[in-house]
Structure 1
Amino acid sequence: MLFIPKCHNPAYLISVLYGISAAATALLLTALLAAALRTPALRLRLVERRRQRDVPLSGGVAVVLVTGLVVGAGEWLGIAPPADGVRGVLVAAGAVALLGLAGDVWRLRRRVLAAGTGVAAACVVPYGETGVGTGLLAVAWVVAVVFGFRGLDHADGLAGTVGVVTAFGVAACAAVEVMDGIAGLMSVLAAALTGFLLHNWHPARVALGSCGSMSAGFVIAVGAVYARAGYGVVESAGVLFALTAVVAADAVLVLGVRRLAGRGVGRGGPDHLAHRLRRLGLTAPGASLLLGIGALSGMLVGVLAHAGHIGAGALWWVVGGVLVVVFTLSRVPVHGPRRSVSPQVGAPLRVRNG
């Protein structure tokens, strides 16, 4: 403690203790609530079909409720950092969560989900710092990130892993800008997603659904916009791209391949990054872990560039890496027999008696 700056400042100590307790509370409550809501979700048929089994979508509801509860309780008790627009972001994210929940229940069209998300984003973008033109570009980017996170929820552990990494990256960027409220919100969200991952790792017992994936993507994207507000458009685009590199890579791969194949971009299929890595022989946890490492790499470059510790030219390496990954994995067939991880596992075992 003696070597920590401002460690004798009571306000600083309260802020540190709040951050630790809020993150721990969010992790534990999300893990407990996701498990508790699993049975009601199954009874209400709020499920997603994965590998011939029903996975309840209780994880998203748990993440949304706990994140809002913990952050709101901190503000109500007066121990949370300054708001920095957090209340507006939470209200808008709650609206997106309800929209996503309606999509889970009634299978709303994507254009309806996109329009609702765009309206919510337009209500919280800081136009005073970005300007109207750049603010509208930010709205479009938020919608793209939200749907990118929604697309990652097809694989066990993937959306949660990428969400945790990206939320921590945005928290670091916000901390650089002394936006303690945004940084605290991102830390709580990352902790809640970690608690969710306890049940979502392969084989998943719960999933985020549109409710959780869209709201998490919304909070992360808007938080990143707040952190970059007032900076140049081109450099900000590079930092935001690096922070969400895996989300961007998955979206570009899926949209590009479907367009080239003459398929509708809204039609689902086993053509995402994780699907193609599985075709190369990786296990489900291995694919999620590898993509999580990729997200971490891009996030570190984005945070260091935002803080000014590395030049903006390093962001082009992230762009180049994403393009290489997209081109390489686009060559992997998504139909046909999957490569076996081990021929000893894939073939029947013969046991010799005597």
Structure 2
Amino acid sequence: MLYGIVAATTALLLSALLTAALRAPALRLGILDRRRRRPVPLSGGAAVGLVTGLVAVAGDRTGIAPLGTGVGRLLAAAVCVGVLGLAVDLWRLRWWVPLAGTAVAAALVVPYEETGVPAGMLAAGWITAVAAAFRGLNHADGLAGGVGAVTAFGVAACAAAALMDGLAVLLSVLAAALAGFLLHNWHPARAALGVGGSLFTGFVLASAAVFVRAGQGIGTGVGVLFALTALVCADAALVVLGRRLARWPLTRGRPDHLGHRLRRLGIAPRAVAVLSGVASLGGVLVGVAVHTGRMSGGAALWVAAVAVVVVLGFVRLPVTPAFRARQRSSSVSSQVTTQLRVRDG
């Protein structure tokens, strides 16, 4: 317990410092989030991945907090997925390359001896889908980091209840590293996760959740897994359904995520991050309660019902952000003012 607190504190401080230290090299090398109008370096992903791995491995090598059977393999696979995501940030690889790499890594970490081969293959597909969906959250300041930190604490609580101390420490370290990164990612962001950081985070969270529920009831397990990642799953379902209805290619980017639609309603960027974190926390609390037996498995159905209502309620909203029109109108007015000044001069 004491080591977990020390490890989490260390991870938070190191992540905040390393994210800041890597900003300048990322700017010089051009490792930037190119979807933004101003240069935002992708230093957060490397910082979160490095700090999580180093602190977790340090606890394992010293014997203070052994990771346990299979968890070391999980961390190594997550690092490989993060490196593949970093390659996407650098060279813009085709969409199927990180998806295929994540699927291979997921297939290698699933505990088939506890899940069985058929359920294990389904679990690998779920890990891949959640990691890809978590990448989709990386479009707004504070969104992926906040949801990731909340989810990591929830899965850590499930791991602690299952007496998986090494896995609980790993997730606590990840949550703390994301919290340290958030110090630089809060709007207006000075650093971003990038594909590498978001894939790493999503892969660790989904794989750890599978480890925690492996060997237990399938029906309740599916409910717990969904509740822990309800917001991520709802966002992915909203994107897929919206693009299908609009006959838009699934692999082609579009401002149609839940965060984009909340901004379309006029909600401020920081409020979007806070609302997403609170919504994620609600699902996580239900997932932890069902996992520990404090709630019945039917509670997860209520989370699913809320997610369905949210998806159906937002899918018909226009996908063009409301603030874009304001920016255009302000730019037009500034151009008119400039022309009048020139004429008067």
Q: Normalization by structure 2: what TM-score?
A: 0.92
Cα distance in 2 between the residues matched to 1:287 and 1:294: 10
Which residue is equivalent to 1:153? 138
Q: How far did residue 315 of structure 1 move?
A: 0.7
Which residue is equivalent to 1:106? 91
**Shift in CA distance, 133/122, structure 1 to aligned 2, threshold 3 Å:** same
Tell me how many residue pairs correspond in the alignment: 328
Which residue is equivalent to 2:330? none
Which residue is equivalent to 2:338? none
Cα distance in 2 between the residues matched to 1:234 and 1:159: 28
Counterpart mapping for 1:158-173 below 5 A = 158-173=143-158
Q: How far did residue 339 of structure 1 move?
A: 10
Of 237, 259, 262 in structure 2, the residue corresponding to residue 277 of structure 1 is 262
Counterpart mapping for 1:283-294 below 5 A = 283-294=268-279
Aligned partner of 2:123: which letter?
Answer: A
The answer to whether the Cα contact below 8 Å between 1:84 and 1:182 also exists between their aligned partners in 2 is: no
Which residue is equivalent to 1:40? 25
Q: How far did residue 260 of structure 1 move?
A: 1.0
**Shift in CA distance, 168/84, structure 1 to aligned 2, threshold 3 Å:** farther
**Shift in CA distance, 245/336, structure 1 to aligned 2, threshold 3 Å:** closer
**Shift in CA distance, 73/265, structure 1 to aligned 2, threshold 3 Å:** same
Q: How far did residue 329 of structure 1 move?
A: 1.3
**Shift in CA distance, 298/86, structure 1 to aligned 2, threshold 3 Å:** same
1:54 aligns to what SS in structure 2? coil
The answer to whether the Cα contact below 8 Å between 1:249 and 1:323 also exists between their aligned partners in 2 is: yes
Which residue is equivalent to 1:175? 160
Cα distance in 1 between the residues matched to 2:269 and 2:46: 24
Aligned partner of 1:223: which letter?
Answer: A
The answer to whether the Cα contact below 8 Å between 2:264 and 2:321 also exists between their aligned partners in 1 is: no
Q: Normalization by structure 1: what TM-score?
A: 0.90
Which residue is equivalent to 1:61? 46
Of 223, 231, 255 in structure 1, the residue corresponding to residue 240 of structure 2 is 255
Answering whether residue 127 of structure 2 is matched by residue 142 of structure 1, we say yes
Aligned partner of 1:57: which letter?
Answer: L
Which residue is equivalent to 2:296? 311
Aligned partner of 2:163: which letter?
Answer: V
Aligned residues: CA RMSD: 1.7
Q: How far did residue 232 of structure 1 move?
A: 2.1
Cα distance in 2 between the residues matched to 1:46 and 1:114: 21
Q: How far did residue 269 of structure 1 move?
A: 1.2
Of 311, 314, 320 in structure 2, the residue corresponding to residue 329 of structure 1 is 314
Counterpart mapping for 1:70-85 below 5 A = 70-85=55-70
1:49 aligns to what SS in structure 2? coil
The answer to whether the Cα contact below 8 Å between 2:242 and 2:316 also exists between their aligned partners in 1 is: no
Cα distance in 2 between the residues matched to 1:51 and 1:142: 29
Which residue is equivalent to 2:340? none
Which runs of no fewer than 5 residues in structure 1 stay unpaired? 1-15, 342-347, 349-354
Answering whether residue 287 of structure 2 is matched by residue 299 of structure 1, we say no
Cα distance in 1 between the residues matched to 2:101 and 2:248: 25
Cα distance in 1 between the residues matched to 2:206 and 2:83: 18
Answering whether residue 183 of structure 2 is matched by residue 198 of structure 1, we say yes
Which residue is equivalent to 2:170? 185
Q: How far did residue 139 of structure 1 move?
A: 0.3
Aligned partner of 1:17: which letter?
Answer: L
Q: Deviations over 1:159-195 (max 9, x none)?
A: 0000001101111111111011111100000000000
Q: Deviations over 1:316-341 (max 9, x none)?
A: 10001001111111122122744999
Q: Deviations over 1:131-155 (max 9, x none)?
A: 0000000000000010111000001
2:274 aligns to what SS in structure 1? helix
The answer to whether the Cα contact below 8 Å between 1:224 and 1:240 also exists between their aligned partners in 2 is: yes
1:214 aligns to what SS in structure 2? helix
329-338 or 50-59, which deviates more: 329-338
Cα distance in 2 between the residues matched to 1:249 and 1:338: 24
Which residue is equivalent to 2:216? 231
Cα distance in 2 between the residues matched to 1:140 and 1:184: 25
Of 243, 251, 261 in structure 1, the residue corresponding to residue 228 of structure 2 is 243
Q: How far did residue 110 of structure 1 move?
A: 1.9
The answer to whether the Cα contact below 8 Å between 1:84 and 1:181 also exists between their aligned partners in 2 is: no
The answer to whether the Cα contact below 8 Å between 1:246 and 1:295 also exists between their aligned partners in 2 is: yes
Counterpart mapping for 1:105-124 below 5 A = 105-124=90-109
Cα distance in 1 between the residues matched to 2:155 and 2:321: 39
Q: How far did residue 82 of structure 1 move?
A: 4.9
Q: How far did residue 62 of structure 1 move?
A: 0.3
Cα distance in 2 between the residues matched to 1:126 and 1:53: 44
Cα distance in 2 between the residues matched to 1:82 and 1:247: 26
**Shift in CA distance, 82/38, structure 1 to aligned 2, threshold 3 Å:** closer
Which residue is equivalent to 1:3? none
